[in-house]
Structure 1
Amino acid sequence: MLMQPVRHNCALFDGHPPVSPASQCLINLVHHNKYNVGSGEQFDDLVGLIEHFRLYPMIENSGDVLRLLQPVSGTRLRAHDIDQKVQEMREMEDFQKLDYNTGFDGEFQSLKMLDDRHIFTTNEGMKAENTTKNRYRNILPYDQTRVVLGRRDNKCESDYINASYVRTTRLSDSCSSVQSSNESLNSVKSLILKSDLKKVTPLVTKSLSDDALREVKKSLKLDKINGNICPDPVKEKMYIAAQGCLSNTKDDFWRMIWQEDIRVIAMITNEVENGKKKCERYWPMSGHEERYDNLIVRSISETHYEEYLVREIDVHNDKHCCRTIYQYQYTAWPDHGTPPDPDGLLAFIDDINRRMSEIAQEKNAPEQNVLCVHCSAGVGRTGTFIVLDMLIDKVKSSGFSCDIDVHSTVKLVRAQRSGMVQNKAQYRFIYFALQNYIENRNIKMKKQMHVSLAYYLINKKVIRQLLAKASPFLNIS
């Protein structure tokens, strides 16, 4: 039964330049709210349909391959195209062309429809003995992804805490440079091999793609001269998304921190906001210590920055084993909405990742790099932070030509904890923060590239001068 036909414009390509710029493809919304294009495959949403046909092209009766190049409602994009994506979204809002099914709002609303299809249970959180451990009655961890607290010998303890594992999967990408960038890169490499220094500098200062600049930097081995532009993403990172502590869950929280060998905590809330308690203080004042069940927690230091602060905390168990925990608290998130400027949160994320990288190099490093993230409910700001961090890691590891997908990443984390990224404002903020990060890193890379290349050219010139002076004394055949 055909309920509602939807027309969707897409670009089709048969392996040669297209005869016409676009063709019309009729997408059918059929019974049970499934989408298809008449080929038999059924999809729960338009995003899934579009991504499928980007990977697996349509075949016409004539045998021609029709490839979906860039569907207008696709959510996946190249990292270096994020400016264009954000601009289009903003223009749709500015000119009031945005309806409920397009733009930021359309992408976000489609996530809410997908949430209704989740079949995970929340039985543990709904048990009578655990209800007092939930800050909000409607925000519970899935049984399938919740953190289960281990029981100690001869102790009858609850294994429940309102916290969820959030794992990341490596999203597929195609990080190839465009042809013009490859040609520019090859030209630079050939000139370097020929030592034609006069031609290298002006060519490199032209607008090469970011991938080309990175490859030239690699070819010149400039990492060893000036160090890495940006540290590699933390390897094998996993998140635990948790609610803010209640007065009766502080012991459980530290039990979890010790059990999961967590060394870094990201707290994205103040203790009190707008007169409401958001999170109980679960750490002692600087220079003091407190006992939480069998753990002794001592605050060593507290360092304040413009929008966040860092606490160094030592934790001892009853077997005299000690670990150092770093708690990062972001204090500049407003009571309502999102930060007006993403720079502070990006600095916060960068500092956390730097710390995790350092810890991973230590002798007693944990087997798994687990980052505990919490706000008050453990879904809104927490989800925004985790999604943004995942996407930044993707760009760090794969470059500006990699595919990124805010929608799919939010869908990924929501499949592990319900309600992650709570509202459209947070969803939009991810785009704006990611745009800011890519723009700033792009500028930094290009500046560093030019400085490194100049350093290389100066050194090469000096070596040539020394060789010229020494040549009369050298026996060169």
Structure 2
Amino acid sequence: MAVALSPDQELATKAFLDALGEAGATCVSRATAIKFLFARKFDVARAHALWRQHEATRRREGLTKFEPFEDPLKTELATGKFTILPTRDATGAAIAVFTANKHFPTQTTHQTTLQGVVYQLDVALQSLETQRAGLVFIYDMTDSKYTNFDYELSQKILTMLKGGYPAKLKKVLIVTAPLWFKAPFRILRLFVREKLRERVHTVSAPQLGAHVPRASLPRQLGGQLTPDHAAWLEHCRNCYTNNIQNNKLDGVIDEYVISNYIPPVKTQNGLIEHEVACDMTSDRVARLGDNQADIMHISDPPYTCDTSPLRHSHGYNGDMKGGHINSGDEDDTDLITRGTWSSGEASPGLSDEECGGGGAGESAAALLARLRALGRRGLVAEYDDIRARPPHGTFHHAKLPSNVAKNRYTDVLCYDHSRVLLSQTDPDDPTTDYINANYVDGYKQKNAFICTQGPLPKTFGDFWRMVWEQGSLVVVMTTRATERGRVKCGQYWPAAAGARATHGAFAVATESVDAHEDYVVSHLLLTDLRTEQTRRVWHGQYVRWPDYGVPGGGRAQPVLRFLHHVRAAQRSALHHLGDKWAGHSRGPPIVVHCSAGIGRTGTFITLDVCTSRLAAEGTVDVRGTVLRVRAQRAHSIQMPEQYVFCHLALLEYAVMQGYLESAELNGFDDDNEDESE
């Protein structure tokens, strides 16, 4: 059964097969060609190079003839050290898990272990969804010892996945790496291309939720899933047997990729379903219920030739209907399901490269001309249209009785799909993972920020637990503790140099304080009292930004200076981490809060994303950026004046950086009305 391709993709497929034919490889099927092309975005030359490397790897490592139903491979597969989960990450990528403590190098050969990995990956790649969305590889080192670690095998797996296998490697997540792993990891990273190096992350179990939704993770990794490895192996057996039969019928002996049959995709009732090539009757195809319990506890075999039709949003734990996020906005839900994005629409399934860029943008000169034409009234009308849009998700966790008291304001709640999950401190109380905080993407960086409310005295411990677990190095505060006689935020850190305070399992000491005209910087030492481990945290508080408003007189330069100082602090802290940080080049999430965590917080993040994009691309998209921020942190950019300020601040930044000679807006305020609330 043929896969539907665009005309350009069909031409690329023909060119790829012709190139292989000229090289003497006449036994490669069309389906195999498509896999290699998907892995290299239908670039024929790159796909051909990948095929050559793949062929060499298979022959060098003895991965051409498998006997999965006989030892030693049969026993290797049964260990469950490597498996494919029946779920996906937020982008639709398949999730592979290698459990290090189940691997004993003295009891198996590299060839057998690699055969076990490739045998299962080949079956996973039967899914067109996996070919398009790629693969997340989790290397779980929890409870592993040095005797479980095989450096040479790890190198071979990385080398194969990064350039010798027809799957897009989205991320490598190394979970709970022990201290002794630091030295070999430093060497392993040398084998990874610089572009891919940013996709290799060493994370703790709580931090794993920032990369893969908890609902998609097995319980041993802090998730909600109980995968059935035996059912997965049975599925692999069926697919393997059926593929051999199909090969014989087609007269094709494709020894490089076992799975050379790709079923077409059909949509029915919101689910992505596939006609399967396996020998499976309809009653054996996984049936998915309407609620999460049905999704996560599938009684029928949970594997079809597509390892999962489900699509989860980032960190999602709320209701799902028919595999979709039940956001109340059908258009946005469809976008999430398709994994596509248009400027100004919300999708939690973006890659780093797509975040904050790639959508419609305009030059600084075009922005200036547009503001002259719109005037303040037109810009406020544009904001009113944004504010009138319905929420992009649900707030179930924030509304749970045991969590309500943790919210500073009853009408400012955090989305389920992007909320930050804390480690669960009480095994009998799952709500101990809650804090009123959401991940928000930055410029070409997923989860660049954590937007949160001003901590309450009862949540000080949760706040510092979040900072610790997320690896954050910088905290940005855009409010005073008290404004106009009202408490806006608790004093969750010691204000005076030399002071120390304890909140829950963490101690916070202020080592020094630097006072600037518009902001105050505190250099903090955070200590986990359970382990006595420490981390320095840079805390910047902007003190001249009124609630529900913009900096005094609408002056942008002080805020832009503060933003520059924040970024410099993040770079400096990251530099001091050195090899301890293996994630995105811009570092771990920056925690940003005001009082509610939406108005001034959203404005600060919008300015960071837009100035970063202007510096990198020469274009900006304020409206699109605000829509994306609001899709992850509800109600961000709280007032029309904050939306106007973002535009004016960008013009000021453009003049400072030489993109504009001047930014005169004659007549912009002529139609101004009092917009304050």
Shorter chain as denominator, the TM-score bin is 0.5 to 0.7
> SS where residue 105 of structure 1 aligns?
helix
- Number of the residue aligned with 1:348: 562
Amino acid at match of 1:267: M
Q: Distance in 2 between matches of 1:52 and 1:375?
A: 30
- Say whether the 8 Å CA contact 2:371–2:379 is kept in structure 1: no
- Number of the residue aligned with 1:370: 589
Q: Distance in 2 between matches of 1:444 and 1:286?
A: 42
> SS where residue 258 of structure 1 aligns?
helix
Structure 1 residue ranges (4+ consecutive) displaced by more than 4 angstroms after TM superposition: 152-157
- Number of the residue aligned with 1:384: 603
- Number of the residue aligned with 1:413: 629
Change (3 A) 1:169 1:354: closer
Q: Distance in 1 between matches of 2:366 and 2:605?
A: 22
- Number of the residue aligned with 1:110: 385
Aligned residues: 300
- Say whether the 8 Å CA contact 1:141–1:163 is kept in structure 2: yes
Q: Distance in 2 between matches of 1:323 and 1:311?
A: 14
- Number of the residue aligned with 2:531: 319
> SS where residue 425 of structure 1 aligns?
helix
- Say whether the 8 Å CA contact 2:364–2:659 is kept in structure 1: no
The counterpart of 1:260, out of the listed 470, 474, 484, is 470
Q: Distance in 2 between matches of 1:335 and 1:262?
A: 25
Amino acid at match of 2:411: N
- Say whether the 8 Å CA contact 2:548–2:599 is kept in structure 1: no
Amino acid at match of 1:354: A
Matched, 1:307 2:518: yes
Change (3 A) 1:282 1:349: same
Change (3 A) 1:355 1:155: farther
- Number of the residue aligned with 2:549: 337
Amino acid at match of 1:104: L
- Number of the residue aligned with 2:19: none
1:82: Cα distance to partner? 2.6
Q: Distance in 1 between matches of 2:331 and 2:457?
A: 45
- Say whether the 8 Å CA contact 1:80–1:438 is kept in structure 2: no
Matched, 1:286 2:561: no
- Number of the residue aligned with 1:297: 508
1:337: Cα distance to partner? 2.3
The counterpart of 1:242, out of the listed 448, 452, 456, is 452
Tell me the percent identity.
31
- Number of the residue aligned with 2:484: 274
1:89: Cα distance to partner? 2.9
- Number of the residue aligned with 1:360: 574
Change (3 A) 1:384 1:52: closer
Q: Distance in 1 between matches of 2:469 and 2:559?
A: 28
Matched, 1:161 2:377: no
1:119: Cα distance to partner? 4.8
1:335: Cα distance to partner? 4.3
1:287: Cα distance to partner? 0.3
Structure 2 counterparts to residues 14-413 of structure 1, below 5 A? 76-90=361-375, 93=376, 98=377, 103-114=378-389, 116=390, 118-152=391-425, 156=429, 158-168=432-442, 170=444, 238-284=448-494, 285-317=496-528, 318-339=530-551, 340=553, 341-362=555-576, 363=578, 364-365=580-581, 367=583, 368-398=587-617, 400=618, 402=619, 404-413=620-629
Q: Distance in 1 between matches of 2:380 and 2:467?
A: 37
Higher RCO structure, 1 or 2 (CA under 8 Å, sep 6+): 1
Change (3 A) 1:344 1:169: closer
- Say whether the 8 Å CA contact 1:359–1:365 is kept in structure 2: no
> SS where residue 360 of structure 1 aligns?
helix
1:79: Cα distance to partner? 2.7
Moved more, 247-256 or 235-244: 235-244
- Say whether the 8 Å CA contact 1:75–1:406 is kept in structure 2: no
Change (3 A) 1:259 1:155: farther
1:88: Cα distance to partner? 2.4
- Number of the residue aligned with 1:435: 651
Q: Distance in 2 between matches of 1:366 and 1:267?
A: 26
Change (3 A) 1:147 1:443: closer
- Say whether the 8 Å CA contact 1:380–1:422 is kept in structure 2: yes
1:151-209 deviations in whole A, cap 9, x for unaligned?
24868571110000001364xxxxxxxxxxxxxxxxxxxxxxxxxxxxxxxxxxxxxxx
CA RMSD of aligned residues (A): 2.8
Change (3 A) 1:396 1:169: closer
Change (3 A) 1:268 1:86: same
1:342-390 deviations in whole A, cap 9, x for unaligned?
1110000000011112222222447342110000000000000001110
Q: Distance in 1 between matches of 2:493 and 2:641?
A: 31
Q: Distance in 1 between matches of 2:331 and 2:379?
A: 21
> SS where residue 326 of structure 1 aligns?
strand
Change (3 A) 1:43 1:365: closer
Please give the TM-score of this superposition, normalised by the length of structure 2. 0.42
> SS where residue 126 of structure 1 aligns?
coil
Gaps of 5+ in 1: 1-41, 45-50, 54-73, 171-234, 446-477
Please give the TM-score of this superposition, normalised by the length of structure 1. 0.59
Change (3 A) 1:43 1:162: closer
Change (3 A) 1:154 1:411: closer
Change (3 A) 1:301 1:155: farther
Q: Distance in 1 between matches of 2:630 and 2:342?
A: 21
Amino acid at match of 1:113: A
Q: Distance in 1 between matches of 2:614 and 2:642?
A: 20
- Number of the residue aligned with 1:199: none
Gaps of 5+ in 2: 1-329, 333-340, 344-358, 662-677
Q: Distance in 2 between matches of 1:43 and 1:132?
A: 33
Moved more, 77-86 or 369-378: 77-86
1:444: Cα distance to partner? 11
Change (3 A) 1:239 1:282: same
Amino acid at match of 1:320: E
Q: Distance in 1 between matches of 2:628 and 2:417?
A: 14
1:76: Cα distance to partner? 4.2
Amino acid at match of 2:497: S
Q: Distance in 2 between matches of 1:372 and 1:255?
A: 12
Change (3 A) 1:153 1:119: closer
Q: Distance in 1 between matches of 2:416 and 2:372?
A: 40
- Number of the residue aligned with 2:288: none
Q: Distance in 1 between matches of 2:392 and 2:373?
A: 35
Q: Distance in 1 between matches of 2:360 and 2:446?
A: 26
Amino acid at match of 2:514: T
